[in-house]
Each structure stands twice: as structure tokens, then as C-alpha cells.
Amino acid sequence: NAGVTQTPKFRVLKTGQSMTLLCAQDMNHEYMYWYRQDPGMGLRLIHYSVGEGTTAKGEVPDGYNVSRLKKQNFLLGLESAAPSQTSVYFCASSLRASYNEQFFGPGTRLTVL
């Protein structure tokens, strides 16, 4: 049982390049989330999904897109990376909606030059 995994662990991009971050969970969770973590800002929700085939915007969605074609996978895309997207990205999942633990992946450290 690997829990929540993320690939890649590190990535350096040039401004304007695109990339996709992959999140996978093996806990059969319905809900999945993408956060970004910046110093002094805590974790901010980018996009989330309440089930296979669904996605919704979070607190800071601009510049990102997501897809959830399979229940176990949640992809985060950056179409045209900007230096402001330099951050550590975390994926999380939870079984239910309310009063429920979110399980986090190990993170992806992204630098945009």
C-alpha cells in the first residue's frame, strides 16, 4: 500500500514551458486535491475532484488545469509556466467529504526560471 505518490519529485522549467504533474493513490479515495505550498502562505488549494471525471477550482486555480480520467489518478498541468508558479506542489486524497483525514503525497518541488 503506497498511499499517495507523486511524480516527478523535482523539476526545473523555463518560462513558457509546459509540464504535467502526476498524482496516484491506491486507497480507493473519492476525493483528490492539488495544493501549492509557499513560505509563509501555508497550503493553498489549486483544484480538487470529488470523483472520477469531475474537477473544480480551488483558491488559486489560475494558470493550472487538471484532469481525473481514472479514480486513482489526478493530473495537474501547467500550460505556460511562469516564475510565480515556483513552489512545492502537494497532492492529497480523502475517502469522504466531512470530518475526514486528507492523506498527502511527498510533494514535487518545481522551479520556473
Which positions touch another protein (CB under 8 A)? Answer: 4, 31, 40-45, 48, 50, 58, 90, 92, 94, 96-107
Q: Which three cell numbers stand for residue 63?
A: 494558470
The nearest distance, CB 41 to another protein, in angstroms, is 6
- Give me the phi and psi of 84, to 5 degrees please: -65, -15
What residue type is assigned to position 23 of the chain? C
* Nearest in space to 108 (alpha carbons), one of 80, 61, 72, 74: 74
Residue 29, number of CB atoms within 10 A of its CB: 20
Closer by beta carbon to another protein, 50 or else 113: 50
The nearest distance, CB 83 to another protein, in angstroms, is 22
The nearest distance, CB 73 to another protein, in angstroms, is 17
Closer by beta carbon to another protein, 58 or else 63: 58
